[in-house]
Amino acid sequence: MASSSSSSSPPPPSFSSPMIQIQSLILLFLFLLPLSSSSSSSSSSSSNSTTIYEVLKSKGLPVGLLPKGITKYSMNDSSGEFEVMMEEPCNAKFENEVHYDSSIKGTLGYGQIGKLSGISAQELFLWFPVKGIRVDVPNSGVIHFDVGVADKQFAISIFEAPPECTPQPDAVDAGESDHSLWSVW
């Protein structure tokens, strides 16, 4: 009479292995998270856990001051001296074109970079070496580029994110423009 077939019991659920994978993923994350966030505190030379962008941010500076893809830098935490090593020199476009040498050096302080070398900004077809960068504290939305002859101001918002940078040899025009710069002024 009771003909309900008992033969069609569902197959044992096979979710056990995905389940385990998920669990181990979670475990993995639990391990990785503290690792990546803790080991960053104070190293005197390039540690792969803290990026130069995080360093900039911790100094109250916009991360877009440096182009994308920088992995090598060194930093002296006590003096603030740093060096950023780029694969190759390149140009990025903001309001103005900015050129980055393959080695950028300077001294980082809160809200400012001093003794800067390796960055130049184009203005009216001339290249001006940027000697310092400063944001107002408290932040007024303006960032100042000290180009020696002038204090150039930009909206800080244009440096919100690291720009793409197009490989571009340094050199010739940088030297030339120094001359034209001085002859103009």
**Least distance CB 122 / ligand NAG (angstroms):** 32
**Least distance CB 27 / ligand NAG (angstroms):** 18
Q: What Cα–Cα distance (Å) separates residue 24 from each residue in 15, 30, 32? A: 14, 10, 12
Q: Rounded to whole angstroms, how far apart are CA atoms 86 and 22?
A: 38
CB nearer to ligand NAG: pick between 69 and 141: 69
Residues of this chain, 73-112, that bind ligand NAG according to CB under 6 A: 76, 78-79
Spatial neighbors of 103 by CB under 8 A, at least 6 apart, are 83, 84, 85, 86, 118
Piece of 8-16, 72-80, 98-106, 153-161 that binds ligand NAG (CB under 6 A): 72-80
CB nearer to ligand NAG: pick between 58 and 76: 76
**Token pair for residue 177?**
């423009």
Distance of CA 96 to the CA centre of its chain: 19
Instruction: Kindly state whether residue 39 participates in binding ligand NAG, applying the rule CB under 6 A.
Output: yes
**Least distance CB 34 / ligand NAG (angstroms):** 11
Piece of 43-51, 145-153, 155-163, 165-173 that binds ligand NAG (CB under 6 A): 43-51
Among 21, 23, 37, 44, binds ligand NAG (CB under 6 A): 44
Q: Rounded to whole angstroms, how far apart are CA atoms 142 and 160?
A: 12
**Least distance CB 81 / ligand NAG (angstroms):** 6
CA atoms within 13 A on the CB side of 37: 6
Instruction: Kindly state whether residue 49 participates in binding ligand NAG, applying the rule CB under 6 A.
Output: yes
Cis amide linkage into residue 129, ω under 30° from 0: no
Look at strands 97-109 and 126-129 and give their pairing: unpaired
**Least distance CB 47 / ligand NAG (angstroms):** 7
Binding-site ranges for ligand NAG (CB under 6 A): 39, 44, 48-49, 76, 78-79
